[in-house]
Structures are given as structure tokens and as C-alpha cells.
Amino acid sequence: MRLSDFQKHSICESAKHNFGQDTHVWLFGSRVNDLAKGGDIDLYIEPQTQKPADLITAKLQFLRDLHKKIGQQKIDVVLHRADSKVELPIYRIAKETGVLLQ
């Protein structure tokens, strides 16, 4: 996994703060591969917060907080609400190939 301990801690801390204490976060994509170079930080998040309007605000605040902590980096966030009836392939792929951070 190509994240520093500081980056991992910052992601987890910001996710809990913005999405709720019971939020789960996976790192997926190229940053999971220790041999790869570069790449953005791809995060799959199952938030405690479930209201769509609250999630929009939480996502923006999460990204703002994270950029303040770890600097300007390309960060992609995939959110999956527990009460959603939609099951996109990216949800399964992120969990199967990713690394659970919290």
C-alpha cells in the first residue's frame, strides 16, 4: 500500500469526523500496488451519514480537510449508502481489491 502512516491516519480521522464514527474506508486502485508509481488516491467509503444532502456536504468537507492535512493531491471518493438500492460494480471491485483502512 502506497500511503504513509500520516496519510492513512489523516484519511481515517477525516472520514470519521465528516461521515460518522462507524464509517468504513477502503483504499483501492493503483495505490494498493506497492510496485506501481504515481496515481491518485482512490477511496471507497461506506458512510454512517445516509441523507443525500448531508453526504454532499460531508464529502466536500472531507476533501477540504484532507487536502489541508496531506496537501493537494488527486483524491477520488466513491460513496455507497447502506440504504441505497443501487449496486454499482465499482462498489464490489473496490471492496474486493482494496485495503480496509478503517
Residue whose C-alpha cell reads 500520516 in the numeric block: 6
Q: How much is the pLDDT for 44?
A: 98
25-78 pLDDT, tens digit each: 999 999 998 888 878 999 999 998 788 899 999 999 999 999 999 998 999 999
Q: How much is the pLDDT for 91?
A: 96
Please give the full DSSP string across 9-65, using - where no structure is assigned. HHHHHHHHHHH-TT-EEEEEGGGG-TT-----EEEEEE-S---HHHHHHHHHHHHHH
Q: What is the pTM of this model?
A: 0.92
Confirm or reject CATH 3.30.470.20 for domain 5-100, answering yes or no. no
Cα separation, 69 vs 6, in Å, equals 9
